[in-house]
Amino acid sequence: MTTEELIHLLPYQDPFLFVDEIDAISKDGVTGSFTFNQEAFFYEGHFKNNPITPGVILTECMAQIGLVCLGIYLLADELTSSKQPQIALTANQMDFYLPVLPGEKVTVVSEKEVFRFNKLKCKVKMLNSKGDLVARGLISGMLKV
């Protein structure tokens, strides 16, 4: 499976797709990136005259790259055109360190902690274009084909 095929299998679309590229993927983890569109709907009110990316959107970006992309990769042998993955976020614990501004590119690095009984748990971190730590935490989800 190519990274383009993997991204195509994601159950999201614009304006709620937060994956541009998958740079590396293996059974142990994934690295990918996304650039936040300066015109994204959530910047209009978060915050007045000082837009920053909401933490919930940063968490979603980390989940899409770090959990969902990795989960699809791990289930690739079970996927067909009629059997698409179903994914549910079950838990997350996140710490935020730096803001992400409109137009900024981020990189998500995810390491698999456990994948058992269709439950995937990953340690994730988000870095800005300078390599500074933006956020890190744990994300878990259930995956089903």
Q: Which residues are catalytic?
A: 46
Transcribe 2-28 into DSSP letters: -HHHHHHHSS--TTS----EEEEEETT
Tokens of 121: 């748990």
Paired with 95 in beta bridges are 136
Q: Count of residues for the chain?
A: 145
Contact 43, 102 (CB under 8 A): yes
Of the candidates 111, 112, 110, 71, the residue with the CA atom closest to the CA atom of residue 89: 71
